[in-house]
Structure 1
Amino acid sequence: MTGQEEPSSFRLAYVPGVTPTKWVRIWNERLPDVPLTLVPVPAAEALELLRDGGADAGFVRLPVDDPDLSAIPLYVETTVVVVPKDHVAAAVEEVSPEELAEEVVLHPLDDTLDWERPPGVPALERPATTADAIELVAAGVGLLVVPQSLARLHHRKDLTYRTLRDAPESRVALSWPRAEPTPDLVEQFIGIVRGRTVNSTRGRPQTPPQPKAGAKAKAKAGDKAKRPERNTGGRPAAKGGAKGAKGVKRGAKPGKPRRRS
């Protein structure tokens, strides 16, 4: 990239409840010259935004029933029921749909769970949004079943939530418009989300493994050990271990010198 070229940008959409902070941080570390713009979008509008080119990729909730979009499932969320802190359900760790049979359970229009029939008694009207439903729970109008991330997003001091057994679960995925080939920046972000390292990112050559810092030192030490020892007296070093010089036992008395005739 030359000094006159403007760096390209990457637009990342995300639905309520998804926290893209970790992936954004990795992106900024690996591609500091490519700005990443976050685009918050309601869950019901996320696929249309991607299809119309309003973002390069996005974190959405499955299913993605659109032939113009690709998707990678990422994780499954725990389903919880949001209740007032003084509600009887707050005294246990989890509840079942059957235990909510006599309760008014709110079903907002932006619900992300695929119910055949929501548990409990339906309210007279469906709240427009999950945020509106949370306010009604706080007012004592009813309870609310949502993915755990939405319960955390709309946390209030007077409310709590408990795991709901045997309930539909929300699945989060990364989605992007289909294209051949996949745009490079999208491919880069897919690699980040999938946990690829810098060297393993698809389309980039891997850096060959480097020898360990101590390998050369060990090799030199091995060569030195193989070399014969030097004897400062001018004679070869004695061999034979405990015997000392070859053929002579250590500690043996030397013979008497011969007399000259």
Structure 2
Amino acid sequence: MLRLSFVTGTEPGKWFTRFRDRTAHGRMVTTDSEDPIADLLDARADLALARLPDPRVTADHHVVELYREAPGIAVPKDSELTLLDRVTPSDIEGEAVHWRTPADGVVDVPAVRAGLQVVAANVGVVIAPRPLLRVLSRKQVEHRDFAGDGPDTRIALVWGRSGDSEAIQDFVGIARGRTPNSSRQAVPKRSAREKSLAKQKRRAEAGGVKKQTKRPRRK
């Protein structure tokens, strides 16, 4: 069994399906969490899909970066800013910023959620990774790309070096785009009956395509 905690703002469902279909590691337990690194450190998860940077991730952890998040801005649904595809710092001069990604890049998901509640009341803006805003925004809130300077946020798989396993390695491979034909991919084992049926099927197919040679008729 593999226990994985994934951070709010990510959608790893396709990886879960591929892991179940392609491997024989058994049941997979997944949790949508605002703080998957805490779940990893408290041994509630074997593997974390986390948003970095995070000061709790150290040299004792394996880290595999998967992608980077674009910065975004959440604005009230009735704001004139919704007419823009990309908002710049000059566009929000005078606006109340209820939360923005700090210089160290650490994203406080509960704080972003609280800021969006104020934006939904038609007041101010929130600046955060756009994938996170997409998930958390309510009907009264819209989000756009933000062109201002700010730290990068990255989505990565994190796990302890002492807790490495074949199941983790297989999931990491799937998340990185490894195909089913990879030699490192665990293949589900077949039972003796499944092997026998497969062998019979191959024989039947071979017999079905085999050409029969006809003897010429004597005159």
* Bin of the TM-score, shorter chain as denominator length: 0.7 to 0.9
Which position in structure 2 is the counterpart of 1:61? 51
The list of structure 1 runs, each at least 4 consecutive aligned residues, that deviate by more than 6 angstroms after superposition, is none
Q: Which residue of 2 aligns with 1:236?
A: none
Aligned residues: 199
Alignment of 1:154-173 (within 5 A): 154-168=136-150, 169-173=152-156
Contact 2:2 2:25 in 1 (8 A): no
Which residue is equivalent to 1:48? 38
* 2:103 is the alignment partner of 1:115: yes
Q: Distance in 2 between matches of 1:63 and 1:201?
A: 32
2:4 maps to 1:22 = no
Q: 1:103 to 1:201 in 2, by over 3 A?
A: farther
1:134 maps to which of 109, 113, 116:
116
Alpha-carbon displacement from aligned partner over 1:43-63 (angstroms, at most 9, x marks no partner)? 4xx323323322111110112
1:248 corresponding residue in structure 2: none
What is the CA deviation profile of residues 143-201 of structure 1, one whole-angstrom value per residue up to 9, with x for unaligned ones?
11121222221232222111101333321111111138x31111111111111123314
| Cα 1:85/1:141, change in 2 over 3 Å | closer
* TM-score of the pair, normalised by structure 1: 0.64
> Map of 1:228-243 to 2, 5 A cutoff?
none
The structure with the largest alpha-carbon Rg is: 1
Asked if structure 2 preserves the Cα contact closer than 8 Å seen for 1:13 and 1:58, the reply is yes
Give 2:21's aligned amino acid: E
* Greater RCO structure (CA 8 Å; 6+ sep): 2
Question: Which structure carries more strand by proportion?
Answer: 2
CA RMSD of aligned residues (A): 3.4
CA contact (8 A) 1:191 1:201 kept: no
Whether contact under 8 Å (2:61, 2:160) holds in the other structure is: yes
Partner of 2:130: 148
Decide whether aligned partners of structure 1 residues 48 and 101 sit closer, same or farther in structure 2, where only a CA change above 3 A counts.
Answer: same
**Structure 1 unmatched ranges of 5 or more:** 1-8, 118-125, 206-219, 222-229, 234-261
Q: What CA deviation, in whole Å up to 9, does each residue of 1:232-251 have, x standing for no partner?
A: 99xxxxxxxxxxxxxxxxxx
Determine the C-alpha separation between the residues in 2 that align with 1:179 and 1:71: 13
Using structure 2 for the length normalisation, give the TM-score: 0.75
Residue by residue, what CA displacement relative to the aligned partner does 1:56-91 show, whole Å, maximum 9, x if unpaired?
Answer: 111101125412211111111221111112212111
Residue number among 190, 193, 207 corresponding to 2:172 in the alignment: 190
How much identity, in percent, do the aligned residues show?
29
Where does residue 88 of structure 2 map in the other structure? 96
Q: Structure 2: which 5+ runs fail to align?
A: 188-209
Asked if the contact 1:127–1:133 (Cα under 8 Å) also holds between the matched residues in 2, the reply is no
Provide the C-alpha distance between the structure 1 equivalents of 2:161 and 2:104, rounded to a whole number of angstroms. 31
- Which amino acid in 2 is paired with 1:192? I
> Aligned partners of 1:33 and 1:57: how far apart in 2?
14
**What code does the residue aligned with 1:149 have?**
P
Contact 2:6 2:30 in 1 (8 A): yes
Q: Structure 1 residue 116: deviation in Å? A: 6.9
The answer to whether the 8 A contact 2:22-2:186 is kept is: no
